[in-house]
Structure formats: structure tokens, C-alpha cells
Amino acid sequence: MGKAEVVQATKPMRTLRDSDVVLGLESSCDETAAALLRADGTILAEAVLSQLEDHTPYGGVVPEIAARAHLAHLPGLVRRVMAEAGIGPDGLAAVAATAGPGLIGGLIVGATLGKGMALAAGVPFLGINHLEGHALTPRLPGVFKAGVHAGGLEFPYLLMLLSGGHCQCVRVEGVGRHVRLGTTLDDAVGEAFDKSAKLLGLPWPGGPHLERLAASGDPARFALPRPLMGRPGCDFSFSGLKTAVANIVAKGLDERGRADVAAGFQAAVAATLADRAAHALAMAPDATALVVAGGVAANKGIRSALAAVAAKAGLPLVAPPIRLCTDNAVMIAWAGIERLRLGLTDELDQAPRPRWPLAELSVTAV
């Protein structure tokens, strides 16, 4: 694995207590979010502001618009969650903000606000890897259904990170310890959903609209490919599937045909992800669970397919509540708490990183 230096903040962190409160900030793409968590995992307050209306006219996220929206709204969200929780700056034990990967403008906004608040309050700052935020969410106590790891998931587990920008199989061994077993060779799965939805004339973001259209369709009508299915390893490929959808659409479709294509596309993706998950579990035989996270984890058909794979392997499928599948600040605050427990903090001159692979994280405190 690569290494990245992790150093202490200006003011050393004392031993973390369960009652300590951490502020989390998320601004890596098109959701602006803030949250307050106690170190025992209790969510005191959370807020997410979607920029959907800002970007919909352009059919995708516009980085400059996203950055300006974060700048305009993030301070207000921070004031909102702190007022809701009845906590002032002097009640914070640390501030955690997304430092990458993501759109550089938004990362700068969130990280700069986080550093300023940490400096003013005299508490440590943590620059959090957004992907690790998703990866550690299953360890947040009490957020899952009763009886399914309500106390937080134990390492190691297999994570399928599925979103518009990422598609990876990762063996999560610990905080800052992640082994990527497979990744996409072309489009991310969420990107494939959005592009196929656009071909079908659906609004952006396409994933939820395509899922709704698919509910009334026949998944067996069109023979769509299952890229890489059955092949060794757990890499992904979705460009061929997207091209197959484009070829069918080009021949003309009525409303029923559109629904059938949507259903076929979703079924193909679910089958492919299930196959890749089975291969990944064979590569991580000591996994305690199969975890699915990221925006695509909200798709019910995909959850069902992955649940069947996990059950066959004798493991639970652990999926965050829908609100914690997409980008949020709860996961950032929790990742900060996990790192604080290991004595890890960051200097205020830490630079945001638009590209920041999980393999470049470190757990070495100085």
C-alpha cells in the first residue's frame, strides 16, 4: 500500500470520551452537509442540502455551481445543526471535513471552514477521505435494523462501494487499512445508470427514475449483456451494457418498450454485481459481512441481488439506511471519531486532494 503522512494537529487530542462531540462537514460533490455526533455514535443533529435543482438544467454536476452552493449554504447548515443540538463551538472535541476525493472547489470550501472552526475552538482537525467515510459507516452503532450489527460491524468485511463516481470491491481491514480487490474498467455503476436513463429520456439524476420505470417493465424482453460475468476476479465493466441500451433505443421504443429496457438494464446490473460480489467474497473468506454503500446502494433490486449472494455465503448483507447511502456528513463525523480513537489528527495545512485512493491512507500517528 502507498503511504500518506498523518500528523497531529496543533493542539494534541486528549483521550476521546464517549460524550465528546465531533462536527462533520461534507462538500465533495453536489450535496452540502453537516452533522454532529457523539463519540459513542449518537447522532445529535444532521442536515443535507441537495443541489439537484441547481444542476438539473445542465444534465449533470457543474463544478463551479457546486462550489458556489457549498460556499453559500455550508455555514448556515453548521449553525443549524449546532442550534438543533444545543452545542456551541466550545462544546466540540474535534472537527472533521471531507478532504478528498471529489471536486476541488467544494473540497476547499468544506476543508477551509472545518480548519477555521477547529482553529477558533482550539480543537483537532481531521481531513477525511470521503471513500473511507462510506467504508466505515457500517461500524456506526445503532443505525441499522434491530438485530443486524446494531453495535457496529467488526473488521474485516467486504465493501461494495457503488456510486456515480466509484465502483469498487474493497476488503476493509481496519481504519486506514483497505485492500481494493476490484474496480471498474470504464464507467462507474451509477454513471451507467445515469447515461442509460438519459438514453431513455429520463431526467437527471437518472438512477431513481430508471428504477421506478423498471418496476413496470419485463426484464426478459431484451437480451442485454452481463459484462465480465463469470470471469475471474471482481473487476467491473458497464460500457458494453450502456452501448447495448443505446442500440435498442436507436431502433425506436414505445412507452412499454422503454419500461422493458429499464427493467432489463437493472436486471443486468444486479446480476453482474451479484456475480462480482460472489467472486470478491471468495477472495475475502474471513469477511464478517457483505456491505453495500454509495448512492446505488439505495436501489432495491440491487440490494435484493446482493442479499442473496451474502445469504448463500452465510453472511449478512449490511446496508446503511437510505439517507446514509448518498453523500452525508454523518459518515464524515464518524470516520473522524474512528481516527481520533487511534490518536490520528491532521495539520491545518493539509491540502485537499481531488484524487485520493483508499490505498494511500495511513494509520501512523506521529
Any binding-site annotation on 299?
A: yes
- State how far the Cα of 175 lies from the Cα of 66, in Å rounded to an integer: 29
Locate all alpha helices (DSSP H) within 22-136, ordered by sequence.
52-55, 63-85, 104-121, 130-136
The annotation status of 194 as a binding-site residue, yes or no, is: yes
152: left (phi over 0), alpha (psi -120 to 50) or beta: left
Residue 164 marked as a ligand binder: yes
Query: CA 195, 197, 200, 204 torsion: positive or negative?
Result: negative
- Whose CA is closest to 108, among 99, 118, 95? 99
165 annotated binding-site participant: yes
Angle at 26 between CA 20 and CA 32, to 5 degrees: 125
Q: Are 194 and 206 in contact (CB under 8 A)?
A: yes
Identify whether the C-beta of residue 298 lies closer than 8 Å to the C-beta of residue 326. yes
Contact indicator for 261, 269 with CB cutoff of 8 Å: no
Q: In the sheet where 177-183 sits, what is the strand order? A: 177-183, 167-174, 157-162, 290-293, 317-318
Q: Is 233 labelled as part of a ligand binding site?
A: no
40 is in an annotated binding site: no
Rounded to 10 degrees, the C-alpha dihedral 270/254/242/283 comes to 10
199, 240 Cβ separation under 8 angstroms: no
Question: 3-state DSSP call for residue 9?
Answer: coil
Provide φ and ψ at 235, rounded to 5°: -75, 165
209 assigned to a ligand binding site: no
* β-sheet bridge partners, residue 46: 35
Q: Is 134 annotated as a binding residue?
A: yes
CA 45 from centre of chain: 19
Residue 74, annotated ligand binder? Answer: no
- C-alpha to C-alpha distance for 166 and 335, rounded to whole angstroms: 19
Helix residue ranges, H only, 86-176: 104-121, 130-136
Rounded Cα distance between 295 and 325, Å, is 5
As given in the structure block, the three cell numbers for residue 341 are 480513537
The reply, when asked if residue 211 is annotated as ligand binding, is: yes
Binding positions: 130, 134, 161-165, 194, 207, 211, 299, 327
Which residues are annotated as part of the binding site for substrate? 161-165, 194, 207, 211, 299
What are the binding residues for Fe cation?
130, 134, 327
